[in-house]
């Protein structure tokens, strides 16, 4: 399906109205103003499902405007910068400065974001509804059994979000006193719809998964106030922050079935995003920023509170009191050596209710305590400037984490370590050629060590090497390149509790990552410029896969995979996930004359990913455990490409116009649900006063 839309705008903002408005704000000022205003016509066509092709572009008709203005002398002026693409895509920035005594900044921005609608409705293209065929030892013959049943209450809905930001900052200098008062307000609101997916039944016969539309209207408000003053050798800062989050839509409510006496059937709220608020106060002091020694100290007290409004589950209470302390000490004993010592400490003390009750829970359910956390970091950075063109830098860092309230009553399951120590060593060098300054090289090596990693993705050993360089052998061309390679090693212990006992599984994980970027620019002829860039990213993760935790122990059984502690639990060693991304871009600019310039640009991105579990567990169980089909489900092969042509023409000294055509295409080689393209054409005109 093709949709064509034509949009246009009228004459741009009136200069007279703008100057009159400024005169109200700045009475008695003689104005020396500058104003650039422009706009044009836009034609948009899209095909299929264009959400991923132009993820942050609204595909609706709308006028477009641009305005840059400055009014007033240097010591008393107002500036305004505005860009309008649609009612859901615009930016306004304004700044007012009065004699350096009062400074006010205003920012208003709104962005649009397309969201996916994963097909759940049976019969639709690439729907999640499917059946699994298997041979069960408990059922004679081959049976087609639906392991998962999908349903979509809103199959035709399209999902998107509008994100709007409003920010106002004011800084006032007290007369005849070396001090300032700062006030700020920030508001962030997200509105729209998204897909809500959840399971409303147990999986005794089949897992029943649902999809429906959820309305969003979430608002975050933040107020800040601070005062800073210069007291001789010291500067003192006192600040306060208040932030609250509110979900202005009702929490979803749906009907759920019973689960083995653990949950009763009935209607219940779910997927809540609870309201919350946070307050903190900070006292900071720093010494004079000149001289060989500079010190900065700060201390913060704060509190966060969860304000859940659930009715079917209560009470849901959680809050955390915290303090943060920081100290920075910079020492510069000579022109060639400088050192920085950084100290950080964080203390989090959690509090939550001990139990919850619900209309769908047969008995009172106990709630475990949250982990209290203490974090300490010490960091030393040293820099040696060996010459004007060679610099060396080294970093030593040590971090300690202590956890309290660890639940030791449950014999199985994940338990984080009570103490975790991380050490980091980093060394690097920077070189820039002294004579012609056309060659620069920057390289860094980082090593990290963790004594007791707390999470499966936390590494106990990590190495990373990076290098970047730029080279300009002539005025007509140059190159830049960078490369980064790293490897992380992790080990993770997990216990499972089944009727025959507790079994421990030790899993290993290795992650290798490489990134390469290369660019070249050239001016092959007078008034012609060309840029070419290529980027490559590769991530290779190899880890052990734990499959199953069912309770039908058959100790002593073995397979080609590993020893089997339980008839329904085993390990698949060295499962690989490989992701690769290639990015190409080229830009060409041709200046035909002093008044006409042509722009050409092209983009190409190819992303692939493969997941390769390989097991076929033949021991008699309720169902056959096989990796067949998992690689196909996890395979990703995406192509995104685009091109742009534009021309700028200065018709007269103050009159400018231009035209632009852009095309973006998204193609998934494995699934066509989100394939689509967007073509946008625009003609604009601008005038300079």
Q: What is the pLDDT of residue 143?
A: 54
| Conformational region of residue 592, where left means phi above 0, alpha means psi within -120 to 50, and beta covers everything else | alpha
* Model confidence at 669: pLDDT above 80: yes
* Model confidence at 583: pLDDT above 60: yes
Q: What string of H, E and C letters represents the secondary structure of 45-56?
A: EEEECCCCCCCC
Q: What is the pLDDT of residue 130?
A: 60
| DSSP assignments along 77-143, one per residue | EEEEEEEEEETTEEEEEEEEEETTTEEEEEEEEEEEEEE-----STTSTT-S-EEEEEE-TTSSSEE
Q: What is the pLDDT of residue 497?
A: 61
Q: What is the pLDDT of residue 292?
A: 75
Can you name the residues that pair with 672 across neighbouring β-strands? none
What is the average pLDDT across 160-170?
96
Instruction: Summarize pLDDT for 2-35 with one digit per residue, the tens.
Output: 433 333 333 333 333 344 344 434 454 444 578 8
Q: What is the pLDDT of residue 147?
A: 66
Strand 596-611, strand 570-591: pairing: antiparallel
**Residues 6 or more apart whose Cβ sits within 8 Å of residue 165:** 107, 108, 109, 110, 186, 187, 188
| pLDDT band (50, 70, 90) for residue 560 | very low
* Model confidence at 443: pLDDT above 50: yes
Inter-residue contact 226 to 240 (CB < 8 Å):
yes
CA distance linking residue 226 with residue 281, whole number of Å:
10
Structure tokens at 282: 């900070």
* Model confidence at 340: pLDDT above 90: yes
CA distance linking residue 352 with residue 274, whole number of Å:
14
Arithmetic mean of pLDDT over the chain = 84
pLDDT > 70 in the chain, percent: 83
**Residues 6 or more apart whose Cβ sits within 8 Å of residue 17:** none
CA distance linking residue 204 with residue 553, whole number of Å:
19
What is the average pLDDT across 407-417?
64
Q: For residue 321, what are the CA distances in angstroms to 169, 239, 244, 280, 290?
A: 28, 18, 16, 10, 36
Count other Cβ atoms within 10 Å, centred on residue 395.
Answer: 18
* Model confidence at 657: pLDDT above 80: yes
Q: What is the pLDDT of residue 312?
A: 86
CA distance linking residue 663 with residue 641, whole number of Å:
8
What is the average pLDDT across 352-364?
85
Instruction: Summarize pLDDT for 251-281 with one digit per residue, the tens.
Output: 999 888 887 777 888 888 999 999 999 999 9
Task: Specify the higher pLDDT residue, 194 or 505.
Answer: 194
533 closest CA partner among 583, 601, 591: 583
* Model confidence at 214: pLDDT above 80: yes
Q: What is the pLDDT of residue 334?
A: 86
Strand 207-231, strand 179-199: pairing: antiparallel
Instruction: Summarize pLDDT for 489-543 with one digit per residue, the tens.
Output: 988 776 666 555 666 677 889 999 999 999 999 999 989 999 999 999 999 999 9
**Residues 6 or more apart whose Cβ sits within 8 Å of residue 68:** 35, 36, 80, 81, 82
Most confident of 33-42, 316-325, 456-465: 316-325
Instruction: Summarize pLDDT for 591-644 with one digit per residue, the tens.
Output: 999 899 999 999 999 999 999 888 766 554 445 567 777 788 788 999 999 999
* Model confidence at 158: pLDDT above 60: yes
Residue found under tokens 């009065």: 98
Q: Which of 48-62, 130-144, 267-281, 525-539 has the lowest mean pLDDT?
A: 130-144
CA distance linking residue 61 with residue 374, whole number of Å:
53
pLDDT > 90 in the chain, percent: 49
What is the average pLDDT across 141-158?
75
Give, as one character, the DSSP assignment of residue 368. P
What is the average pLDDT across 450-474?
90
């Amino acid at each position: 399906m093709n949709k064509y839309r034509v949009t246009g705008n009228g004459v741009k903002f009136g200069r007279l109205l703008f100057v009159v408005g400024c005169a109200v704000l700045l009475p008695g000022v003689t104005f020396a103003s500058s104003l650039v205003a422009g706009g044009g016509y836009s034609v948009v066509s899209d095909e299929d499902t264009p959400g991923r092709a132009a993820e942050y572009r609204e595909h609706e008709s709308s006028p477009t405007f641009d305005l840059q203005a400055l009014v007033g002398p240097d010591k008393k002026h107002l500036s305004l910068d505005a860009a309008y693409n649609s009612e859901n895509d615009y930016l306004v920035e304004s700044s007012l400065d009065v004699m350096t005594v009062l400074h006010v900044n205003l920012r208003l921005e709104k962005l649009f974001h397309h969201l996916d609608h994963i097909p759940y409705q049976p019969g639709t293209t690439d729907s999640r509804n499917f059946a699994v065929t298997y041979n069960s030892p408990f059922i004679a013959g081959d049976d087609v059994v639906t392991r998962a049943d999908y349903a979509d209450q809103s199959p035709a809905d399209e999902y998107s979000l509008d994100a709007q930001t409003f920010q106002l900052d004011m800084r006032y200098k007290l007369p005849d006193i070396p001090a300032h008062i700062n006030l700020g307000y920030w508001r962030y609101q997200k509105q729209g719809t998204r897909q809500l997916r959840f399971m409303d039944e147990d999986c005794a016969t089949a897992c029943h998964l649902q999809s429906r539309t959820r309305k969003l209207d979430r608002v975050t408000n933040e107020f800040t106030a601070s005062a800073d003053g210069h007291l001789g050798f010291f500067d003192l800062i006192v600040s306060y922050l208040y932030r609250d989050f509110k979900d202005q839509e009702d929490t979803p409510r749906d009907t759920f079935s019973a689960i083995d006496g653990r949950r009763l059937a009935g209607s219940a709220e779910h997927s809540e995003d609870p309201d919350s608020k946070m307050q903190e106060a900070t006292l900071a002091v720093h010494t004079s920023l000149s001289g060989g020694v500079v010190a900065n100290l700060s201390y913060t007290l704060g509190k966060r509170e969860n304000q859940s409004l659930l009715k079917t589950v209560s009470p849901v209470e959680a809050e955390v009191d915290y303090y943060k302390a920081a100290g920075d000490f910079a020492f510069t004993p000579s022109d060639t050596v400088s050192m920085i010592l950084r100290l950080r400490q964080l203390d989090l003390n959690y509090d939550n209710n001990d139990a919850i009750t619900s209309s769908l829970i047969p008995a009172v359910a106990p709630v475990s305590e949250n982990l209290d956390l203490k974090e300490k970091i010490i960091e030393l950075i040293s820099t040696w400037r060996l010459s004007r063109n060679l610099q060396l830098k080294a970093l030593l860092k040590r971090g300690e984490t202590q956890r309290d309230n660890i639940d030791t009553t449950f014999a199985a399951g994940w338990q984080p370590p009570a103490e975790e120590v991380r050490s980091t060593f980093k060394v690097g060098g920077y070189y820039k050629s002294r004579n012609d300054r056309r060659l620069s090289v920057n390289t860094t090596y980082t090593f990290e060590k963790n004594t007791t990693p707390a999470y499966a993705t936390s590494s106990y050993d990590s190495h990373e090497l990076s290098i970047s360089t730029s080279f300009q052998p002539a005025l007509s061309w140059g190159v830049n390149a960078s490369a980064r390679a790293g490897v992380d090693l992790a080990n993770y212990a997990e216990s499972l509790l089944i009727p025959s006992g507790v079994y421990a599984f030790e899993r290993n994980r290795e992650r290798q990552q490489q990134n390469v970027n290369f660019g070249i620019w050239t001016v092959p002829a007078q008034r012609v410029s060309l840029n070419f860039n290529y980027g490559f990213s590769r991530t290779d993760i190899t880890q052990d896969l734990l499959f199953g935790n069912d309770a039908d122990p058959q100790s002593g059984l073995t397979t080609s995979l590993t020893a089997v502690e339980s008839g329904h639990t085993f390990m698949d060693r060295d499962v690989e996930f490989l992701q690769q991304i290639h990015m190409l871009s080229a830009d060409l600019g041709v200046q035909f004359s002093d008044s006409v310039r042509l722009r050409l640009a092209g983009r190409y991105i190819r992303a692939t990913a493969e997941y390769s579990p390989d097991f076929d567990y033949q021991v008699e169980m309720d169902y056959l455990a096989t990796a067949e089909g998992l690689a196909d489900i996890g395979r990703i092969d995406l192509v995104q490409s685009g091109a742009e042509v534009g021309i700028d023409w200065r018709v007269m000294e103050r009159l400018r116009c231009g035209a632009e055509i852009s095309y973006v295409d998204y193609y998934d080689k494995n699934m066509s649900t989100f394939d689509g393209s967007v073509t946008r054409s625009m003609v604009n005109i601008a005038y300079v006063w």
